[in-house]
Structure formats: structure tokens, C-alpha cells
Amino acid sequence: MKFTKVFWGAVLVCFFWQWALGQKSEKPRLPLGAYKTTAKIDLTGANPMYDSAIVILNEAISFYPNDAELHFLLGKAYYQKNSPKEMGQHFAQAESLKIQPKFQEEIQKMRAEKWLQVFNQGAKAFNEQKPDTAIEKFTICTILDPQDYRGFMNVGRIYSLKGENDKAISYLKEGLKLAPDTLDLLRLYAVALHNTGKTEEALEVYFKIIKKDPTDAGALNNIVSIYVLKKDLDKALLFCQKMIDVDSSFKDAYFNMGWIYVQQIQEVNWALDSLKDATGVYKTDEKSKVRKEELEKKRGELFTQAEDRLRKTMELDSLDIDAQLLLAQVYLDQEKLDQALGSLELLAQKDSTNCEILVKLAAVYAKKGIGDKAKETWQKAQDCSKKQ
């Protein structure tokens, strides 16, 4: 054994010396066993020479790229050098070339150790708000163990947070191939699709989520937003109600319903306008009269529903300015001027810099015939707009 070590060491030293001096235009190809024996000596000797083993094995692989054991040995050398990315690449290559079972247990042990080490480094970088470092570490995890979805999920999560949704989608897709039923992956994937405007695909994923977890209020809320974008307000209302069924204290669901009812009121108003003639007077034929009666009844019902939902929002959060302002608009549209005035004056006291509140308040004063206050408030609204 000592003779072998000295012999092959001498051969390789001579070879590398000649190569370094440029005495040969092409590198000589040694027998496969020579490379393996020398590399094993470098890796396991009393004084391991990992750098030397890496050089020898890379040289060997250039001649014998399809030898699984060479890749295993090189991966092992990189493990010792704490180069997890290169280690993972060569272990994966060894496995793709059908590495012998006797080496597989060793691969799994080294891979698990490095995977956990690098994963923790990625988590630490993420917590320290170093996203690029975290991406680097989690990407290495995908190389170390391409069968563990967590590396792909975390790379996708960070890219999504950075607004790089196309990259996020790519990694999350790979993660879902490994763990298609994992809710965290599905949620991240749906949001990334949603953010890139792929609403139909996102909607399909959200449906998968609520099938697995019907109580997922976030998914339900995003389904509502997609249906609003699609102008399918009836389905949006249906899923708002599902949100309330899941959590009766979810104020956003009530606000969204109130907002949708207001949109439907506008649609009814447009339909009513279509029943007017060129002078702006409602047509008097029987069909138009019946239709006008139906639409006015529907509008009254929608106003009632909008008020109910917006009041409920304010019961849950008395400081919700958006709900208070929208409710004031609903009062104003119904000519409930005293109720609108009370809401708007209170809002103006809370936030005198909100231009929209001032505009609506000026309109109420004008409708009530309070001219001085209407002019004063209108001027404040104009001044407010100039500052923004």
C-alpha cells in the first residue's frame, strides 16, 4: 500500500509539473484507477490534502465525466472544504449516474448536515433583512437537496417580497412539484400569480387553497378582489359572505360588501339613465315605467344593504375612515343630508387635511342651503388640493 501511494503520487506530481510548465500541449490521460487511488489517499491520509484531491478529481472528470464514483469523491472533497454548493452539484451528478448503494448512505449524511447548516444561515440572513444573502443560501439548499421543497419555497418567498414575481413563480412551481398539497407553497404561489396579473391562474390556485382550508380568510379575500377586477360583483359578494361565515369579526369583508353594493347602485343608476329621453326625462311607455319601478326598488334595497354593511364595519372599527366616508356618500346619494352632515363634520374634525371629506361636506352644506359654510368649506377643499 505504501508503494502504491508513493508510485501514484510520483506519477501525478510529474504529470502536473509537466502540465504547469507547458511541456505538453495536451494533458495525458491516466487510467481511471490512478485518479481514484490518489484522490482517496489525499482525502483519507494522516494529513488530508483536500485541495489536491479537488484538482486531481476535476482533471479525472474531464476525461471520465460519467463515472459516478469520481463525482462522489469530488463531492466529498468539497464537503471537507465546506463548499456546499459544489458538493451538492457533484452528489446530484453521482446519483444521476447511479452511484453504488454503499455510497448513498454517506451522501445522505453529508447532505443532511450541510443542508441544515446552510438553511439556518439563510434563515438568519432573512431575519437580519439581508434578502440577497438569504436567496443565495436557500438556492444552495435546492442544490444540496433538490427533493426538499423548503429551499424552493423560501427562495420564492423572498423573490416575491422583493417584487420579483416571475422568479418567485419559477421557484415556487418547482417546490409544488415536490409538495403539491403544501398550503404555504400554494398561498405564496397564488399571491405571486396575482401580483403579475395572472388572475385566472391565481384564482384556480386560491380555489385549491380554500378546498383544503375553507377557513383561509386571506385566500377568500383575494378571490373577492379578483372577482371585483373581473366585474363579477355577484360572485364577489358570495365570497365576502363566505369570509363572514368563517369569521364574523372580519371587518374587511363587511367593508368590501358595502363597497360592492355602492358599485351595484351605480350600475342601477346607469340603467335608470338609459330609460330617459334626449331631454333627460323618463320615458312614459309602459315597458319603461315597469323597468324604472323595478330598478328603483332594487336601488333602495342596495342602499339598505350598503348602509348595513358599512355600519357593521364601523361597529368593528370605529376609526375606519374609509368606511365612514363611504357611508357618508351613501347618505348623500339618498339625500339623507342630516345623517351625511353628522358623519362628515365628525370626519373633518378628525382629519382636516382630507380633501375628499371637505368636498363632500361642502356639497352637503350647499344642498342644505348653508351658503356661507358651503363656500368656506369649498375653499378649504381647494386649498387642500393645491397642497397635495
pLDDT, one tens digit per residue, over 42-66 is: 888 778 899 998 999 999 999 999 9
- 225 within domain boundaries: no
- Shared domain check, 82 and 8: yes
Domain count, the chain: 4
Give yes or no for a contact between 111 and 145, defined as CB atoms under 8 angstroms apart.
yes
Assess whether 95 and 116 both reside in one domain: no
- Other C-beta atoms closer than 10 Å to the C-beta of 234 total 9
- Owning domain of residue 51: 1-99
Comparing 9-18, 105-114, 201-210, 291-300, the range with the smallest average pLDDT is 9-18
With respect to residue 130, please indicate whether it lies within any of the assigned structural domains.
yes
pLDDT at 20 over 70: no
Look-up of cell digits 365576502: 240
292-307 mean pLDDT: 96
CATH at residue 129: 1.25.40.10
- Tell me: do 95 and 37 sit in the same domain: yes
Question: Does 218 fall in a domain?
Answer: no
The pLDDT value recorded for residue 354 is: 86
Instruction: Report the C-alpha gap between 355 and 148 in whole angstroms.
Output: 53
Are 10 and 89 contained in the same domain?
Answer: yes
- CATH of residue 360's domain is 1.25.40
Looking at residue 99, what is its pLDDT?
87
164 and 265, same structural domain? no
Residues 7 and 68 in one domain: yes
Residues 290 and 345 in one domain: no
| Each residue's pLDDT tens digit, 246-288 | 999 999 999 999 999 999 999 999 999 999 998 999 999 999 9
pTM for the model: 0.76
Per the CB < 8 A criterion, the answer to whether 108 and 145 are in contact is no
User: Does 303 reside within a domain?
Assistant: yes
- The answer to whether residues 208 and 108 belong to one domain is yes
Tell me what the mean pLDDT of segment 58-77 comes to: 93
The last residue of one of the domains, among 65, 99, 133, is 99
- For residue 353, count CB atoms less than 10 angstroms from its CB and return exposed for 0-12, middle for 13-18, buried for 19 or more: exposed
User: Per the domain annotation, does 325 fall within a domain?
Assistant: no
Are 246 and 215 contacting, i.e. CB atoms less than 8 angstroms apart?
A: yes
Q: Which of 41, 73, 99 is the last residue of a domain?
A: 99
DSSP per residue, 52-116: HHHHHHHHHHHH-TT-HHHHHHHHHHHHHTT-HHHHHHHHHHHHHTT--HHHHHHHHHHHHHHHH
Q: Do the domain assignments include residue 174? A: yes
Pick the last residue of a domain from 46, 80, 99: 99
Q: Same domain, yes or no, for 29 and 127?
A: no
Kindly state whether residue 328 falls inside one of the protein's structural domains: no
**C-alpha angle 323/328/330, rounded to 5°?**
95
Does any domain span residue 323?
A: no
**Given this model, what pLDDT does residue 158 score?**
97
The reply to whether 196 and 116 lie within a common domain is yes
148 in the same domain as 76: no
Residues 127 and 69 in one domain: no
